[in-house]
């Protein structure tokens, strides 16, 4: 037993001797610490909804260890910030502080910050600030500002519309679980309403949906994440954040005007139905940045005017049979999150019969050499599709396609830089994934439309002139 005890003591002594000065601190000095940021800005958060986690680093760049007598959250629980410093949570039990924290020489400590801001009592946004104070043994303090803008919001869970209902409000509405419109009900979304959908939430329409935005007060439908995936990429520019809208078989008479829908999986799915009854009228609306389809229309009667459908992993617009008319629409297929992307427009009539499909004064473009896909020719069906007075990125068809006519079409060629997206659209920022599909000065789409089938105003409510522009937007100086 004496031998074993002696070996144990020797082993412990050897362990201490083998440790370097960096493993155990014998003294600490007073030196300024350095921070990876000067302010922890949480950007905009919804009131009473937990934020994502932010972090920053605290560096000791001196040649001596630095001992902090305390790290303290000044406001405690008054503002809703939660802080973890180097693995220690600043809890209420600890007085929202930690003490006797050492930062070794040439080392660092990571700090994590979250926020659940208090319930808001006023409309709009409220600035929330707090401070994290790093105090050293001698009278040296360094402060980190914590800041956010808290946005008053209403939350709804698994909302079921059983009777005619109007959704409106100045404050945003966060939707958890989704919205279901029953077969006997009409849901109207009033001008200026903003719906923020949580992951996998969407709108299922068995009855009727009226989206009644105006040129000055669009209805916004988007995901509920207000933070950023990367410093340059807010989640508002990321696809697949929510489910989108689905219109079921026996739903008719849906009308969407001045709607801005983005960041969904499928923007709009429309089930097969009676093509003699109007399924959807879509006017002055945008569906952008979807992880699936922009619009998937299965054998229905649909009309689109002044619409932008853009950047979808699958097709921007897929028409499987039925009857459709598109006037002054911009279909732009520049989906940035995958190299294998769908077409800007795909029209088929093998699954369901196609009655007619008309496209006029449209701008249809994208990355591929050919962004329009048409169903296999069926000679006995005659002409089903009409393209007229439009600009399309596709090779000029050498032999006639028996089911379609192309009248006064400008065919975009990849080698022609005048037709490049950067020379066509107001903003085409592939680095930051920001796109503005209004027309740029000098664009070949300006004054290229036909006044015979023009519309009085464009996507933004701007008056069109006697020489209308192609696509959803009339050029403005």
What residues are paired with 94 via a beta bridge? none
Question: Does pLDDT of 25 surpass 90?
Answer: no
Q: Name the token pair of 103.
A: 């930062």
Give just the sign of the alpha carbon dihedral 236, 176, 272, 163: negative
Query: Which residues make Cβ contacts (< 8 Å) with residue 122, sequence separation at least 6?
Result: 152
pLDDT at 315 over 70: yes
Residues 364/388, Cβ–Cβ less than 8 Å: no
Residue 6 confidence (pLDDT) above 80: no
Tens of pLDDT, residues 425-440 = 999 999 999 999 999 9
Structure tokens of 472?
Answer: 């959803």
pLDDT score of 28: 62
The 10s digit of each residue's pLDDT in 161-183 is 999 999 999 899 999 999 999 99
What is the reported pLDDT for 125?
92
Residues 6+ apart with CB under 8 A from 278: 252, 253, 301, 303
Question: Do the beta carbons of residue 341 and residue 315 sit within 8 Å?
Answer: no
The length of the chain in residues reads 477
pLDDT of residue 133: 97
Coil, strand, or helix at residue 14?
Answer: helix
The model's pLDDT over 347-402, given as tens digits with 9 standing for 90+, comes to: 999 889 999 999 999 999 999 999 999 998 888 899 999 999 999 999 987 778 99
Q: What is the pLDDT of residues 269-299, one digit of tens each?
A: 999 999 999 999 999 999 999 999 999 999 9
Say what the pTM is: 0.91
Give the integer Cα–Cα distance in Å for 148 and 288. Answer: 28
Question: How confident is the prediction for the chain on average, in pLDDT?
Answer: 92
Q: pLDDT grade, residue 414 (50/70/90)?
A: confident
Contact predicate 379/359, CB 8 Å: no
Is the pLDDT reported for residue 147 higher than 50? yes
Distance CA 358, CA 453 (A): 11
Q: Average pLDDT in the 193-207 region?
A: 98
Full 3-state SS string of 207-253: CEEEEECECCECEEEEECCCCEEECCEEHHHCCCCECEEEECCCCCC
Choose between 115 and 400: higher pLDDT. 115
pLDDT at 18: 34
Task: Give phi and psi for 141, each to the nearest 5.
Answer: -125, 140
Mean pLDDT of 12-22: 37
CB atoms within 10 A of CB 366: 25
Q: 344 and 333 in contact (C-beta within 8 Å)?
A: yes
Q: Record the tokens describing residue 36, joined without a space.
A: 């990876």
Share of the chain above pLDDT 90, in %: 86
DSSP string, 175-205: EEEEEEE-TT-EEEE-TT-EEEEPTT-EEEE
């Amino acid at each position: 037993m004496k031998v074993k005890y002696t070996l144990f003591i020797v082993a412990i002594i050897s362990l201490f001797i083998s440790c370097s000065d960096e493993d155990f601190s014998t003294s600490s000095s007073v030196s300024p610490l350095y921070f990876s940021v000067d302010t922890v800005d949480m950007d905009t958060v919804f009131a009473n909804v937990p934020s994502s986690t932010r972090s920053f680093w605290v560096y000791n760049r001196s040649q001596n260890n630095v001992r902090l007598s305390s790290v303290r959250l000044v406001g405690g629980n008054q503002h809703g910030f939660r802080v973890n410093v180097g693995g220690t949570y600043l809890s209420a039990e600890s007085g929202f502080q930690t003490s006797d924290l050492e930062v070794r020489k040439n080392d660092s400590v990571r700090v994590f910050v979250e926020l659940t801001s208090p319930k808001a009592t006023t409309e709009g946004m409220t600035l929330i600030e707090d401070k994290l104070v790093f105090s050293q043994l001698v009278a040296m303090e360094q402060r980190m500002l914590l800041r956010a803008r808290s946005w008053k919001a209403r939350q709804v869970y698994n909302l079921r519309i059983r009777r005619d209902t109007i959704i409106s409000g100045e404050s945003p509405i966060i939707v958890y679980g989704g919205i279901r419109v029953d077969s006997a009900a009409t849901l109207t979304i009033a001008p200026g309403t903003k719906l923020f959908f949580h992951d996998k939430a969407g709108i299922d329409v068995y009855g009727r949906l009226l989206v009644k935005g105006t040129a000055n007060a669009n209805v916004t439908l988007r995901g509920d994440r207000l933070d950023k995936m990367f410093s340059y990429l807010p989640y508002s520019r990321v696809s697949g954040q929510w489910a989108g809208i689905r219109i079921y078989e026996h739903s008719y008479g849906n009308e969407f005007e001045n709607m801005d829908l983005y960041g969904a999986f499928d923007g709009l799915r429309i089930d097969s139905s009676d093509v003699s009854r109007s399924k959807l009228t879509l006017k002055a609306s945008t569906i952008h940045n979807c992880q699936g389809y922009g619009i998937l229309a299965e054998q229905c009667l649909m009309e689109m005017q002044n619409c932008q459908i853009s950047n979808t992993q699958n097709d921007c617009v897929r028409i499987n049979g039925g009857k459709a008319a598109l006037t002054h629409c911009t279909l732009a297929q520049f989906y940035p999150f995958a190299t294998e992307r769908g077409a800007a427009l795909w029209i088929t009539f093998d699954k369901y019969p196609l009655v007619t499909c008309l496209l006029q004064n449209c701008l249809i473009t994208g990355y591929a050499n050919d962004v329009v896909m048409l169903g296999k020719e069926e000679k006995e069906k005659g002409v089903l599709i009409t393209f007229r007075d439009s600009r399309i990125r596709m090779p000029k068809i050498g032999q006639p396609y028996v089911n379609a006519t192309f009248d006064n079409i400008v065919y975009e060629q990849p080698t022609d830089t005048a037709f490049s997206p950067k020379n066509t659209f107001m903003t085409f920022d592939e680095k930051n994934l920001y796109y503005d599909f209004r027309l740029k000065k000098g664009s070949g789409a300006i004054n290229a439309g036909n006044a015979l089938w023009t519309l009085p105003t464009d996507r933004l409510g701007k008056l069109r002139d006697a020489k209308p522009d192609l696509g959803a937007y009339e050029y403005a100086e």
